[in-house]
Amino acid sequence: MSGNKELSNLYKLQDPTKQYPRPKFKHQPQGVPGLDRKMQPLADHGETSYKGSGRLPNRKALVTGGDSGIGRAAAIAFAREGADVAINYLPSEEGDAQEVIALIEKEGRKAIAIPGDISSEAFCKQMVKRAHKALGGLDILACVAGKQHAVEKIADVTTQQLEQTYRVNVFALFWTVKAALPLMPPGGSIITTASIQATHPSPSLLDYAPTKAAILAFTRALARQVAEDGIRVNCVAPGPVWTPLQTSGGQPDKKIPAFGSETPMKRPGQPVEMSPLYVLLASQESSYVTGEVYGATGGLEVG
């Protein structure tokens, strides 16, 4: 549990439309992959706002994309709830990742750093084995890492970009889950990460949106396949969330100043607003929930 005894803004009754920054934001293009520390304003991943309540006692979690954005928020929340956590990230994201490692260790939990590129099948297998060995088990797998690069015209989507987007978003999910399942005990939980793009695709995300639709189908099919083994599989489908994925090419730069304004709440979500869903789906509290998709979109429809 977190040592912070003060009630954070995350738990005070308040108007959710005004809880976090609203557009207009600055133009702030970053190279790929983006870094959290360069976001303006900085995103809230729960560093000081998320409080744990012992919902994941001594659980063993692997989070892909755990250095930044939604993955960072999930990793922090898992640790605050009592889990040991391994995070995967690209080597160029080491600075962000070490901040997360320090936050996990501050909670008295084991933190394992596993840098590497999940577009490699061999690395995905190695990552799962390393996490399982270092944590002393594996009962939570949160696949959050993703690749998103906006391109205005189909003519400008290269075969290289198409293949890389599918390798990171779909193939890596398949490889990682395939390696993890034989190591997970009954009661284990797999959480995938789709997007509102799966059902309401933006024209500039012609390669990314179909990968998120594939994740929905994969989640529902796998959930039925492994239910009798006592493994649950569910999905979180965010709407626009303030992460480096957006400012490093995930959105056209011209759209960043108004990012999130299209939602009924008139703002983007913050990563910490996604983490309670990951915690719920990882915990035994959701023992009768599998094959489901949980949206967090600021009021936009997922289905």
> For 251, which DSSP code?
S
* Closest C-alpha among 283, 280, 296, 77 to residue 196: 296
- Residues paired with 115 in a beta bridge: 89
Tell me, rounded to whole angstroms, the distance of Cα 193 from its chain centroid: 6
Q: Of the listed 50, 166, 208, 294, which one is catalytic?
A: 208
Query: Which amino acid, 133?
Result: K
Taking the C-alpha atoms of residue 161 and residue 144, their distance in angstroms, rounded to an integer, is 19
- Distance (Å, rounded) from C-alpha 171 to C-alpha 55? 31
**101, 115, 103, 105: which is closest to 65 by C-alpha?**
115
Alpha-carbon distance of 70 to 84, in angstroms, equals 18
State phi, psi for 154 to the nearest 5 degrees. Answer: -60, -30
- For residue 238, say if its preceding peptide bond is cis, omega within 30 degrees of 0: no
Smallest Cα–Cα separation from 89: which of 208, 182, 172, 29? 172
Contacts of 163 (CB under 8 A, 6+ apart): none
What span, in angstroms and rounded, lies between the C-alpha atoms of 104 and 110? Answer: 7
Is residue 89 among the annotated active site residues?
no
Active site residues: 208
